[in-house]
């Protein structure tokens, strides 16, 4: 009889295990699952009752005492592991080993968070079993680790519908970013959108970048290959506004202009337009000139008054062949390390059909050459030889590389000083000159570091220092998305059950060896 009871006891343990696993995967106590677990409990109780005396004698033996000591040691070891795990929740370090650094916040986001002076409150509305909730929590946790001014929590709209109604939330996967009286809504899990929302709720004003038009400049609304639609979108993602400016119709450059961009004009500006730009610079304005080869000679002369020498040439770079480009696309790999725009910049940049730009380096007045071509380049002045494909360096006529492509200067404005809470400070004008405008058109903006270099330059001119950095790149990997039940299934059958079976097999083998002595 006891033999049959032993079989029933084993069956009871099996039913408990099966019922427990089904519940762990489904996370729902249905009637069939409850029946299986209850049957297992009853059969286990029956086995214990019938074999109570044998079980008691087993536990009173010397081997059990030794086993108890081992169990205590194991318990202590497990306790240490639990304490380490609990400590790791508060004190933790995560290392991102992915090739695209997909789990690491971009340098730009880190810089913005470290510079926060206002408190940010984030409320994410996700269902408790929403499969993308963990991705959002990982992002928010990373943000909070960089600043004490960033706090967040989650709300399940199904369990707390009143909270969702209070904040006007009508859809899942909605995140509210709040600071003071300002609020922005972020849909889905995106570092780019979340950082942009942080900028919007913490910025006191949205600065405007004006693009000059009327002289054949690159159109910021054009989605053609040579258009600047991608430039406009990129600037707006930095929480900066973009507008076009037909200067001939205005009395002056608008007072709300943070930066005036003159991008690739095909015809020279009129004298009255140059005077308006001069007045703008003298009152502390910032201007970015991007001049293509063999264009606007009068504008090139105009920049000479500020110390910039814009060459009537084209830069030839033999290094370009190494990167699969032709020799009229200079490649820049080395930058000025003492200027905010490029001090931490390490990406290559490509400048198709660029002319030389030089400026005498003078840190005292903020004059720097930010980017120059390599030693294997030169400034070719023979246009016919270029057109015939016979360009070669001629000593005494052409200039050997490195050849400057980007130069910047800061000049004390004639407007004098401005008054602040801490007293007066000098007003400075900023001018940047790039010998190419095509490097950030819709075709080339995504080449290596072209976009970041341009945006860093604009951010410096607009006095947005926390936007100067290398921005995050789209992840190149696609994660496997599991449902909640699938996730639990993988956890139990991949993490819990195999080690448990091995442990039970080991204990059984040990007991069998002991009983055989």
What CATH number should be reported for the domain holding residue 124? 3.40.30.10
Q: Are residues 490 and 349 in the same domain?
A: no
Q: Are residues 430 and 446 in the same domain?
A: yes
Greater pLDDT, 210 or 476? 210
Q: Are residues 440 and 340 in the same domain?
A: yes
Give dist(CA 502, CA 428) in Å, integer. 73
Start-to-end C-alpha separation, the chain: 27
Give dist(CA 168, CA 173) in Å, integer. 13
Q: How many helices (H) and strands (E) does the chain have?
A: 15, 18
472 belongs to a structural domain? no
219 belongs to a structural domain? yes
- Structural Rg of the chain based on CA atoms: 34
* Average pLDDT, integer, range 308-331: 85
| Banded model confidence at residue 204, pLDDT cuts 50, 70, 90 | confident
Place of tokens 């005396």: 53
Backbone angles phi, psi at 393, to 5 degrees: -70, 130
Give dist(CA 450, CA 458) in Å, integer. 13
Backbone angles phi, psi at 427, to 5 degrees: -100, 130
Nearest of 250, 303, 305, 252 to residue 276 by alpha carbon = 252
pLDDT of residue 327: 85
Q: Are residues 423 and 314 in the same domain?
A: yes
495 belongs to a structural domain? yes
The answer to whether residues 339 and 370 touch, using CB atoms and an 8 Å cutoff, is: yes
Q: What is the DSSP letter of 345?
A: -
The answer to whether residues 378 and 316 touch, using CB atoms and an 8 Å cutoff, is: yes
* Sign of CA pseudo-dihedral 494, 496, 502, 504: negative
Place of tokens 């400590």: 87
pLDDT of residue 421: 47
pLDDT at 470 over 70: no
List pLDDT tens digits, range 397-450.
Answer: 888 889 999 999 998 877 555 544 455 667 789 999 999 999 999 999 998 889
**Which range among 130-134, 257-261, 440-444, 490-494 shows the weakest confidence by mean pLDDT?**
490-494
Q: Are residues 297 and 394 in the same domain?
A: yes
List pLDDT tens digits, range 230-245.
Answer: 999 999 988 889 999 9
Q: Are residues 290 and 347 in the same domain?
A: yes
198 belongs to a structural domain? yes
**Which range among 65-79, 127-141, 257-271, 391-405 shows the weakest confidence by mean pLDDT?**
65-79
Indicate the SS3 state at residue 344.
Answer: coil
CA angle, corner 296, sides to 226 and 247, nearest 5? 80
470 belongs to a structural domain? no
Backbone angles phi, psi at 162, to 5 degrees: -65, -35
In terms of residue numbers, what domain contains 128?
88-204
* Average pLDDT, integer, range 454-467: 85
- How many Cβ atoms sit within 10 Å of the Cβ of residue 173? 16
66 belongs to a structural domain? no
**Which range among 62-66, 174-178, 341-345, 355-359 shows the weakest confidence by mean pLDDT?**
62-66
Indicate the SS3 state at residue 124.
Answer: strand
pLDDT at 483 over 90: no
Q: Are residues 431 and 292 in the same domain?
A: yes
- Counted residue by residue, the chain has a size of 517
List pLDDT tens digits, range 26-42.
Answer: 777 788 888 888 888 88
Q: DSSP secondary structure string, 233-286?
A: HHHHHTT-EEEEE-GGGSSSS-TTEEEEEEE--SSPPPHHHHHHHHHHHHTT-E
Q: Are residues 298 and 154 in the same domain?
A: no
Strands 368-372, 377-380: pairing is unpaired
Give the CA-trace dihedral at 70, 75, 78, 80, to 10 degrees: -110
428 belongs to a structural domain? yes
Indicate the SS3 state at residue 16.
Answer: helix
Give dist(CA 322, CA 326) in Å, integer. 9
pLDDT of residue 419: 45
82 belongs to a structural domain? no
CA 405 to chain centre: 28
Q: Are residues 16 and 146 in the same domain?
A: no
pLDDT of residue 418: 54
Backbone angles phi, psi at 282, to 5 degrees: -70, -25
pLDDT at 324 over 90: no
**Domain tally, the chain:** 4
CA 228 to chain centre: 23
Q: Are residues 133 and 219 in the same domain?
A: no
Place of tokens 């690491």: 104
Give dist(CA 289, CA 299) in Å, integer. 9
**Which range among 127-131, 229-233, 270-274 shows the weakest confidence by mean pLDDT?**
127-131
Q: Are residues 219 and 167 in the same domain?
A: no
pLDDT of residue 120: 93
pLDDT at 479 over 60: no
**Which range among 266-280, 328-342, 492-506 shows the weakest confidence by mean pLDDT?**
492-506
Q: Are residues 284 and 398 in the same domain?
A: yes
| CATH number for the domain that contains residue 230 | 3.40.50
The last residue of a domain, from among 179, 204, 229: 204
List pLDDT tens digits, range 75-126.
Answer: 777 888 777 776 666 665 666 666 656 668 887 788 888 888 899 999 999 9
Greater pLDDT, 238 or 349? 349
Indicate the SS3 state at residue 316.
Answer: strand
| Banded model confidence at residue 302, pLDDT cuts 50, 70, 90 | very high
């Amino acid at each position: 009889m006891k033999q049959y009871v032993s079989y029933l006891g084993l069956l009871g343990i099996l039913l408990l295990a099966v019922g427990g696993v089904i519940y762990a995967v489904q996370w729902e106590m249905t009637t069939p699952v409850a029946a299986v677990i209850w049957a297992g409990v009853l059969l286990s109780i029956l086995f214990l009752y019938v074999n109570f005396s044998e079980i008691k004698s087993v536990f009173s033996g010397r081997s059990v005492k030794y086993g108890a000591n081992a169990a205590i040691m194991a318990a202590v070891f497990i306790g240490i592991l639990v304490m380490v795990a609990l400590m790791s929740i508060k004190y933790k370090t995560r290392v991102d080993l992915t090739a695209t650094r997909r789990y690491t916040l971009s340098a730009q986001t880190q810089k913005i968070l470290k510079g926060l002076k206002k408190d940010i409150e984030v409320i994410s509305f996700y269902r408790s079993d929403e499969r993308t909730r963990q991705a959002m929590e990982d992002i928010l946790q990373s943000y909070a680790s960089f600043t004490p001014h960033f706090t967040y929590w989650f709300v399940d709209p199904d369990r707390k519908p009143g909270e969702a109604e209070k904040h006007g939330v009508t859809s899942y996967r909605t995140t509210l970013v709040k600071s003071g009286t300002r609020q922005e809504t972020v849909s889905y899990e995106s570092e780019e959108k979340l950082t942009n929302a942080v900028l919007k709720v913490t910025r006191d004003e949205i600065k405007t970048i004006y693009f000059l038009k009327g002289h054949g400049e690159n159109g910021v609304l054009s989605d053609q290959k040579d258009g600047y639609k991608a430039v406009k979108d990129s600037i707006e993602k930095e929480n900066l506004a973009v507008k076009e400016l037909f200067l001939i119709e205005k009395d002056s450059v608008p007072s709300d202009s943070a930066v005036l961009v003159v991008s690739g004009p095909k015809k020279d500006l009129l004298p009255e337009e140059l005077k308006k730009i001069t007045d703008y610079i003298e009152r502390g304005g910032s201007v970015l000139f991007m001049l293509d080869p063999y264009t606007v000679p009068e504008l090139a002369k105009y920049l000479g008054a500020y110390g910039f020498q814009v060459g009537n040439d084209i830069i030839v770079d033999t290094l370009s062949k190494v990167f699969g480009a032709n020799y009229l696309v200079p490649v820049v790999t080395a930058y000025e390390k003492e200027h905010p725009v490029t001090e931490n910049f390490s990406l290559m940049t490509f400048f198709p059909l660029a002319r030389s730009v030089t400026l005498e380096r003078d840190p005292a007045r903020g004059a720097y050459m930010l980017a120059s071509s390599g030693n294997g380049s030169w400034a070719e002045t023979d246009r016919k030889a270029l057109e015939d494909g016979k360009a070669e360096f001629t000593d005494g006529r052409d200039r050997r590389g490195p050849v400057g492509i980007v130069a910047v200067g800061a000049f004390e404005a004639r407007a004098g000083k401005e008054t602040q809470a801490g007293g007066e400070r000098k007003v400075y004008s900023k001018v940047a000159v790039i010998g190419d405008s095509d490097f950030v058109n819709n075709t080339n903006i995504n080449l290596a570091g072209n976009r970041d270099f341009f945006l860093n330059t604009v951010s410096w001119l607009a006095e947005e220092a926390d936007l100067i950095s290398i921005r995050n790149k789209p992840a190149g990997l696609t994660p496997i998305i599991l449902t909640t039940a699938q996730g639990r299934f993988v956890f139990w059958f991949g993490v819990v059950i195999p080690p448990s079976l091995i442990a039970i097999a080991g204990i059984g083998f040990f007991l069998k060896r002991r009983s055989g002595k």
